[in-house]
Amino acid sequence: MSDTATQNNTITYFQRNNPWHTLIPAVKALITRPREFFAGMPFTGFYINSLFFASIIIFGLTVLSVPDYSLGMLFMMPLLWGAILIGMWIMAVYISWAMKIFAGTRLTQANAFQLSSYAMVPMLFVGLSWLGIAAFLGSVYLFWLGLMAHCRISAGRAVAVLIIPVLLVAIVGGGTVFSLDQLH
């Protein structure tokens, strides 16, 4: 194992100090072997790698949204970036708490943020109107799978942990998409 890429059974996880060599392999492993990806994901005490990974996804979703909306999306990027990261942090605080309550296990906020960063990959396509709902559902599925595989909890407990944030994101996200549609 090198100090630039965390590998676990040939799965590479994103590292901010070597993004060009770890981003594509991490996304590829997440898409092709999600259960193994989350099961072998290293525990973390820091937000930095997850923050960089999520920032790349946010940048990508903003750029991909430009053709469907407008160039105004690029000017809104700092606002979107901050709002999404703050929302992810709030979700991580909730997930950490909910894991204790509903699953009887401990998950640090940094690890919950890490799970949500990786589960966010399908959200790259949320700005494309014809793929938005599928991207959201794919992200929810990855988060659910990540909780089960990484934290070794049952499917029902993972649903109990995720139900409130999923409903909140669907309501807020739906309102945002509706507002963005008015930009046409």
pLDDT for residue 75 is more than 80? no
Domain ranges of the chain: 49-181
Count other Cβ atoms within 10 Å, centred on residue 128: 16
Which letter does DSSP use for residue 42 in this model? P
Distance set, CA 168 to CA 6, 66, 80, 91 (Å): 33, 25, 17, 10
Averaged pLDDT for residues 53-59? 90
Tens-digit pLDDT profile for residues 119-170:
999 988 877 767 878 888 999 999 999 999 999 999 999 999 999 988 887 7
